[in-house]
Structure 1
């Protein structure tokens, strides 16, 4: 593979182009993923804020409805008492009717100022049918049992308790911090909405309705924002009304973001506590949304825990889609580039290499391929063809020179042979003449030279 890479221009082009495209896709996807995360986070916060507003309106509507019913009940009792049209039984019936007409209420009650209803106290002690408790105080109380049926009882008049003191001292409607119900068939935590009852300009007691925090908790816990999120509720004093666990109910909010919650309740402005974790280690952000409870001069806060999965899941899905899409695009581009390089560059280059190999073997007769192309390969092919012509011409001149050299060498050999032959004849003639002259010098005049001499 490495040898193919080092020896192939196409492979180098593919690798370089693939790396460049991959880097571009990586950086672009990184930017897009970051933008997607920010956008999803913003949309999630908007949705959470919208859900918090909706839940706050619903809770405020329920509480406001009960507050309106309690205010109306206090007004009706006060006017009826002032006009002497209501006795103890009449007031008790008003309280029962109020509970029957408001399914969200847990109880309906009144506590008189001592002797304020009709001046009776000691003579009615313990007479529940007259709404008197063991101290003779008129404290009729209608509540719901564990089966949802309405039952009647009386309760102790604790004038320093919030359910009485808040409305009595302020002269306005008030809602209490959560507390544990006493003397009811259903042990439950609740808050009371109380209004002072005035007759003839004088306060004769306090009446109100009770809200079961259990029913409110069940209602809000059934809500699952972002599938795994949760909805909680905190009172103005930062006590849990709907808590993460039942053990925290009515206890102060002491988790992360306590200062932010205090600021939100006092300013009426929402806040976000980021990067919290539950007992299982799952991360979430906590949205704090304060809202005014109508008619009772208090502010509660809806808390929505937004799981990080609500943000991470769509981002991860988008990331996976981008990665898969990027790989598909990269694969398609690489395939197209491979085919293009193979067709446009690799095959023509291999053709030129074949032409060069043919010329190295002395074949200059065939034209170089790809001369008709208008690109760089065509220019190389034309230049190589010109080089072919020059090589063919050089080869022809070399052949002619070699032929001339061979002819000259043959001529030289022939001349050399002729010279040698002539020298041999001359030597023979000289030898023969020498022999004849030697015979003559010896007086042999009859000696004849028998050898033939050439004519020249």
Structure 2
């Protein structure tokens, strides 16, 4: 680019440098601010995710202990009854006469049910003629808790209104499976086959004519080292469902999913899908099927995906090897809402700061351009004036004033040189005038002599 004006040349190059430097600084500032925002947002998101996972795990462990404590109350009650029944039916000096055992044991079962309002029922099931050797006398005695076999099979139950009733146990010797895969008589057959204490759930059962799902806890009755029967207590799984819904309502504005799963992978309770109780866990949320192995082995688990954060905690019962697990799942967007809000706030703040920086840079650039224009003018103006003076001096107009004389800078040095040119021009003009005057006088003298 060719410039005809030194002022324009100085101004353009100066302004270009200022704007380039300003743009570079602002650009780097914007880039650094963006990186800082991204770093802060990612760090906060990671921190919140870790804290959320730890908080969910603590919550899951706390609720697991709460459920275990409730279920273990039934195990404790059943265990105490089993020890009492063993002593009463052992035939020793402290035993109860055979003729009184059925009525005595029924009173114990009834009183335990009354003393534990959370229980759905208490029961006992004996081997044939194991309690008093008189099953034949109690055939079809439903009022005494016996079926057509006469065996002692009382099941004391409480319905939703609190009404307590007695009915004989059914399907105690059935190895058939319910549609959900739970063995119908597993609560009896397990202890009978030497597997010790048993928890069976979710067990479909008919209580006072109503179909319910139960968690039933059985303890074997052992006399002289031989299996004689079981005694147990059970819960309607409604209490577990209520607990799941309560936990759900207390976290993340009820936007979490709380599911309680048996060791066999069956849904015991679900805050979001109560209709799935009794069925396979995968039907509640197929995406959580990867937790199945950990649930069966009774391990704590963390499952974090792009869509959700889920934790599980084992629920251990009595003296059994069986466990349940509580699974709490939260959508990632909900769990990390605070981090997302911070990121949005930082983005808004960054955008505002960027606009301010650009505006300030524009003001600085404009001020710099004006200043450089003035500086360029202050440099070019004396040169222009000097050029004009030299042009006039070249026309022998020696009366022209030389600008910049007396200045201490380069302009002053240039003015001194021009001043010398002027002075020399003036002297030359004077000499020419004197020579002309001499010629004129000589001419006049020549004419006079002639």
Aligned equivalents of 1:294, 1:385: Cα separation in 2: 104
Provide the rounded CA distance (Å) in 1 between the counterparts of 2:66 and 2:322: 16
Distance 1:293 1:413, change over 3 A: farther
User: 1:258 aligned to 273, 289, 293, which one?
Assistant: 289
Choose which of 142, 147, 166 in structure 2 pairs with 1:152. 166
Instruction: Decide which of 222, 231, 247 is 1:223's aligned counterpart.
Output: 247
* Range with bigger deviation, 248-257 or 169-178: 248-257
Task: Tell me how far apart the structure 2 counterparts of residues 116 and 202 of structure 1 sit (CA, whole Å).
Answer: 10
Q: Distance in 2 between matches of 1:207 and 1:108?
A: 8
| Residue 53 (structure 2) pairs with residue 22 (structure 1) | no
Superimposed CA distance per residue, residues 243-272 of structure 1 (whole angstroms, 9 cap, x where no aligned partner): 452343222333345354224532x43223
Match of 1:78 among 83, 86, 93: 86
Does the Cα contact within 8 Å between 2:23 and 2:361 map onto a contact in 1? no
SS at match of 1:146: coil
What pairs with 1:207-356 in structure 2 (closer than 5 Å)?
207-224=231-248, 225-227=251-253, 228-243=255-270, 244-254=272-282, 255-258=286-289, 260-266=291-297, 268-275=298-305, 283-327=307-351, 349=372, 351-356=374-379
Secondary structure at 1:285 match in 2: strand
After superposition, the Cα gap between the structure-2 partners of 1:124 and 1:273, relative to the gap in structure 1 and judged at 3 Å, is: same
Say which is worse superposed, 240-249 or 109-118, in terms of deviation.
Answer: 240-249
* Aligned counterparts of 2:14 and 2:386: Cα–Cα separation in 1: 30
Name the SS for the 2:247 alignment partner.
coil
**Distance in structure 2 (CA, Å) of the matches to 1:317 and 1:157:** 57
| Residues 417-441 of structure 1: CA deviation (Å, up to 9, x unaligned) | 5677678x4xxxxxxxxxxxxxxxx
The answer to whether the 8 Å contact 1:171/1:195 transfers is: no
Unaligned runs of 5+ in 1: 277-282, 365-383, 426-453
Q: CA deviation at 1:164?
A: 0.7
Residue 373 of structure 1 corresponds to which residue in structure 2? none
Partner Cα separation in structure 2 for residue 297 and residue 153 of structure 1:
30
Aligned equivalents of 2:135, 2:151: Cα separation in 1: 6
Residue 127 of structure 2 aligns with which residue? 113
TM-superposed CA distance for 1:330, in Å, is 5.3
Q: Is the Cα–Cα contact under 8 Å of residues 44 and 310 in structure 1 kept in the other structure? A: no
- C-alpha separation in 2, matches of 1:135 and 1:330: 88
Contact 1:193–1:296 (CA under 8 A) maintained in structure 2: no
2:396 — aligned with what? none
Q: Deviations over 1:356-384 (max 9, x none)?
A: 244135389xxxxxxxxxxxxxxxxxxx9
Q: Report the equivalent of 1:446.
A: none
Q: 1:385 to 1:65 in 2, by over 3 A?
A: farther
Match 1:139 to one of 153, 157, 167: 153
Confirm or deny: 8 A CA contact 2:124 2:154 kept in the other structure: yes
Distance 1:5 1:226, change over 3 A: farther
What is the CA-CA distance between 1:275 and the residue it aligns to? Answer: 2.4
Q: Distance in 1 between matches of 2:409 and 2:13?
A: 31
What does the per-residue CA deviation read over 1:151-199, in whole Å, with 9 as the maximum and x for residues that have no partner? 3322325223101111221262111131211243442111210011234
Distance 1:94 1:354 in 2: 112
Q: Cα gap change, 1:259/1:353 in structure 2, threshold over 3 Å: closer, same or farther?
A: closer
Cα offsets for 1:315-372 (capped at 9, x unmatched): 21221333344456556767777788888x67764553342244135389xxxxxxxx
Residue 192 of structure 1 corresponds to which residue in structure 2?
Answer: 216
After the TM superposition, which of the residue ranges 239-248 and 57-66 deviates more from structure 2?
A: 239-248
Structure whose CA Rg is larger: 1
In 2, Cα distance between equivalents of 1:257 and 1:5? 66
Matched with 1:395 is 418
The question of whether the paired residues in 1 share the 8 Å contact of 2:196 and 2:220 is answered with yes
Work out whether residues 146 and 185 of structure 1, in 8 Å CA contact, stay in contact via their aligned partners in 2.
no
Give the SS at the match of 2:188.
Answer: helix
Q: In 1, Cα distance between the equivalents of 2:55 and 2:294?
A: 23
CA RMSD for the aligned pairs?
3.3
TM-score (norm 1): 0.76
Q: Which moved more, 1:130-139 or 1:257-266?
A: 257-266
Where relative contact order (Cα < 8 A, 6+ residues apart) is larger, the structure is: 2
| Structure 2 gaps, min length 5 | 1-10, 175-184, 388-406
CA shift in 2, pair 1:389/1:109, >3 Å: same
| Kept in 2: contact 1:111–1:157 (CA 8 A) | no
